[in-house]
Amino acid sequence: MSLLSHIKVVELSDGLTDMGGRMLAEMGAEVAVVLPGDIRTDRARAYHHGKTVITGEPEDLRTLIAGADVLLDGRRRAQGDPEDYIALNPGLVHVVAWASMPGTPSCGAPTTDLTLMAQSGLMTIIGDPDRPPLKLPGEQAYALTGIQAATSAMLGLRARRQTGRGQRIDLSARQAATQANYREAISYEWTGRIGHRPGNQLIRGKSGVTLVYPCADGHVTWSMVDNPGMMRAIVAVMVEEGVAGELAEIDWANILVADTDQQVIRRWEGIVAAFFLSHTKAELEAWSVERGWGLSPIFDPAEVRDSAQLKARGLFVDVETPEGTRRYPGPLFTTSLPEDPPARWASDAIPARDFAWSRT
Amino acid sequence: MTALKGLKVADFSWVGAGPRATKDLSDNGATVVKVESRKRLDLGRLSPPFANGDSKNPDASVFFCQVNTSKLSVTINLSDPEGQAVARRLCDWADVVVENFSPGYMARIGLDYATLSADRPELIMLSVSVAGRSGPMAGYRGYGNIAAAQSGHSALTGWPGGDPHLPPFAYGDVTAPLFASVGVMAALEHRDRTGLGCHLDVSQIESMVQVIPELLAKDDVVRMGNRDAVMAPHGAFPTEGPDRWIAIALEDPALWPALCEELGAPTLAMDTRFVTAEARKANENALEAEIAALTAGFERFALAEALRARGIAAAPVADGRDLCEARDLIDGGHFVAPEHPVIGPAKMPALAMRLHDTPWHMGPAPILGQHNDQVYYDILGMGRAEVESLIGKGALA
């Protein structure tokens, strides 16, 4: 994928821009990144492969920025205006990623991925009702901000095609993370309802149904929703196995699970749960695909990497690092264009004065 | 001047993942024509909450309005061959065609990339789906929980020793459209240089994999709850009031004494179990219990402000009401309230970036078929007799 093979990017990383720089590099842009810490960590390698890691004095960086198309400027921990690099390079798209938009109370305040997730409202609805609010895995507020940094860079480049000029674009990590929470604010605004943590439950109507079930070798996700065809399909197999119990007698076309008493749903779910426990993920998935159950195995990291689907689409790639070969996600999406992957390497840092753009 | 002024998009997408991508384009000035039909309503129009609780009104869904700002709506019946022919004309007008139907549907109605690009190599087409348009799951129909399960997110979300967790929202409907809009703009850059368009195939599962690369690179990753590999404390702790919490992340270990002092327990800083960052990680259960006992006596906003003043990252855990009242969001321009014909001036989440020279502009979402005349006559150049004939046949329903 070389959609951006003509684009040169300097990234001043502090977490907020990391995903954005990686996306631009993955699409073929030449990216030189300054990191706040050690490149030889799992996290740094995962987000910065395909970029050239540089170190140097401000003057060295200014020279690079003067020749760049895009500057991704992470200012999670910074206060005050950044240097006016557009005066140095009028064609530059200068994306400044802040903890919160300039002029707001949290701009410049100490911020991490966890506090951004807390502010997004997502943690209030993730997890179990009797335990603390829970975050998503990894660093999702940073990732979402990084993606929006790439969006900002692309908008700036598109605008430059029309105006011939670069511009500064301010990006709020708080807003980027909150955008992911697409229900809670409007739900409160329009209904006065405040969402809380439902656990592994899908709440519909008067009742909740279970979303996660253990099976013989792990877990699967499936739920007893109002889909008569799906219910008949799963019960048919349970009947074949002699484990359907009272489920075999239910006319699924004439019953609304959402309006069924919670205790009855739990009893039915218990029958399904026992059936799932006696089979493996692979067996259940095969039935689901063949019969249309809407079930999916829950993959652990090794299973994600070994997924037949992701292998067929070439998602994971080998990346050569000084510590050895690692496997990381590669292409952001597939395209109809001839394959032209970026270099799959991750290097140690080099002095900025030794770096020169290879793109014209 | 907006960043995408002049860009023309034929948008066949519906529900969440596709419309969110085209919203990024329409709010930045692209002319996005959303193709809809009364015969098969966008499920987003049936999604709550509804203005005045009017769930029967296809123009009353606030959810729909949120993800379809600044677009035009035209009704075309894609199940009718003459409707398909009109849709084809719209595709021929467009720079970009977007769809997130079940795999194979666009081909069945003659609007797949191979057909549309045969004599228009500059066309860009975007498809968004759960698993992508190739591979053994290419025909897969599914929802967000499948993407969470197959991307590793579910396995990695939850408490140590507990079950995998499925959050009650479709995160793939968030990540995939972000990848999609970046991809479309990158494809436009490529087209400007080469004259060639392309088909972009975005998968929800893959977009969710992309945002946890460090966790998927190893086999020994376990569910960590709110914990971090290095920082401690790093979690959500109770404060005054029901279901009130504060998130605290001690990024700078040197601020441990300041944290203890602010919590009213300066001697805790010298406790040998917690005196170094390594010791705090090694004794994290005890550390979290101590912190939780201390924070429980504080009001969450006041404590967060006091900790931030000491340089410690802290924030109240927000709920829906907190979001609506947050100064960072209000002052930062997160909410815009375009005037909608049915729901009125409703607050909608806006784009997270501020472009200094080419600012975005967010207009209201369209009511169903609001721009039929503009699309039929002005964009497609259809004659009145033709339009009336097609309406009579149900092709433009």
B6: which chain A residues are within 8 Å (Cβ-Cβ)?
162
Q: Does A130 touch chain B (CB under 8 A)?
A: no
Check whether residue A295 and residue A312 sit in a common domain: no
The pLDDT assigned to B102 comes to 85
Whose tokens are 């070969």? That residue is A325
| Length of chain B as a residue count | 397
The pLDDT assigned to A1 comes to 61
Which chain A residue has the Cα nearest residue B211? A143
Which chain B residue has the Cα nearest residue A202? B168
Check whether residue A224 and residue A327 sit in a common domain: no
Q: What is the CA radius of gyration of chain B?
A: 25
Check whether residue A158 and residue A15 sit in a common domain: yes
Helix (H) or strand (E) run with residue A123 in it: none
B48: which chain A residues are within 8 Å (Cβ-Cβ)?
191
Instruction: State the Cα–Cα distance between residues B119 and B92, nearest whole angstrom.
Output: 10
The pLDDT assigned to B335 comes to 96
Cβ neighbours around B182 below 10 Å, total: 30
Q: Do B3 and A158 touch (CB under 8 A)?
A: yes
Check whether residue A151 and residue A88 sit in a common domain: yes
The pLDDT assigned to B143 comes to 67
Query: Residue B113 corresponds to which tokens in the numbers above?
Result: 């990339």
Residues whose CB is less than 8 angstroms from the CB of residue A161 and which lie 6 or more positions away in sequence, other chains included: B192
Check whether residue A53 and residue A111 sit in a common domain: yes
The pLDDT assigned to A37 comes to 87
B175: which chain A residues are within 8 Å (Cβ-Cβ)?
144, 147
Average pLDDT over residues B235-246: 98
Q: How far is B189 from chain A (nearest CA, A)?
A: 7
Nearest residue, CB atoms, A329 vs list B193, B213, B223: B213
**Which segments of chain A are extended strands (E)?**
8-12, 30-34, 52-55, 70-75, 93-98, 167-172, 201-204, 207-210, 212-215, 218-221, 296-297, 316-321, 324-329, 334-335, 350-351
Contact B21, B43 (CB under 8 A): no
Q: How far is A140 from chain B (nearest CA, A)?
A: 7
Asked whether residue A287 is assigned to any structural domain, the reply reads: yes
DSSP classification of residue B366: P
Check whether residue A275 and residue A162 sit in a common domain: no
pTM: 0.97
The pLDDT assigned to A128 comes to 96
Asked whether residue A12 is assigned to any structural domain, the reply reads: yes
Asked whether residue A330 is assigned to any structural domain, the reply reads: yes
Residues whose CB is less than 8 angstroms from the CB of residue A302 and which lie 6 or more positions away in sequence, other chains included: B219
SS3 B330: helix
**In total, how many domains does chain A have?**
2
Cα B140 to Cα A302, B137, B146, B205, B362: the distances in Å are 22, 5, 10, 12, 34
Check whether residue A129 and residue A167 sit in a common domain: yes
* Amino acid at the residue A202: L
B323: which chain A residues are within 8 Å (Cβ-Cβ)?
121, 178, 181, 184-185, 188
Check whether residue A218 and residue A281 sit in a common domain: yes
Instruction: State the Cα–Cα distance between residues B15 and A103, nearest whole angstrom.
Output: 35
Check whether residue A49 and residue A88 sit in a common domain: yes
ipTM comes to 0.97
**B173 is an active site residue:** yes
The pLDDT assigned to B288 comes to 98
Asked whether residue A3 is assigned to any structural domain, the reply reads: no
Asked whether residue A331 is assigned to any structural domain, the reply reads: yes
The CATH number of the domain holding residue A243 is 3.30.1540.10
Residues of chain A with confidence (pLDDT) below 70 = 1
Whose tokens are 């203005």? That residue is B51
Rounded (10°) CA dihedral B171, B177, B182, B187:
140
Check whether residue A57 and residue A140 sit in a common domain: yes
Domains, chain B, in order of start with CATH, read 8-214+332-393 (3.40.50.10540), 234-321 (3.30.1540.10)
Q: Give residue-wise pLDDT tens across range B120-152.
A: 999 999 999 999 999 998 877 766 689 999 999
Instruction: State the Cα–Cα distance between residues B378 and B228, nearest whole angstrom.
Output: 56
Check whether residue A331 and residue A260 sit in a common domain: no
Percent of chain B with pLDDT over 70: 99
Residues whose CB is less than 8 angstroms from the CB of residue A242 and which lie 6 or more positions away in sequence, other chains included: none
Asked whether residue A2 is assigned to any structural domain, the reply reads: no
B291: which chain A residues are within 8 Å (Cβ-Cβ)?
none
Q: Give residue-wise pLDDT tens across range A169-210.
A: 999 999 999 999 988 999 999 999 999 999 999 887 778 899
Domain that holds residue A151: 8-182+307-354
Q: How far is A148 from chain B (nearest CA, A)?
A: 7
SS3 B104: coil
> Looking at B42, B173, B192, B271, which residue is catalytic?
B173
Specify burial of residue B357 (Cβ count, 10 A radius: 0-12, 13-18, 19+). middle
Asked whether residue A112 is assigned to any structural domain, the reply reads: yes
* Amino acid at the residue B277: A
The pLDDT assigned to B152 comes to 97
* Amino acid at the residue B340: H
Q: Do B357 and A165 touch (CB under 8 A)?
A: yes
Residue among A233, A165, A170 nearest B333 (CA) = A170
Q: How far is B392 from chain A (nearest CA, A)?
A: 35
Helices (H) and strands (E) in chain B, counts: 18, 14
The CATH number of the domain holding residue A137 is 3.40.50.10540
Q: Do A335 and B200 touch (CB under 8 A)?
A: yes
Check whether residue A112 and residue A158 sit in a common domain: yes
Asked whether residue A360 is assigned to any structural domain, the reply reads: no
The pLDDT assigned to A347 comes to 85
Cβ neighbours around A275 below 10 Å, total: 21
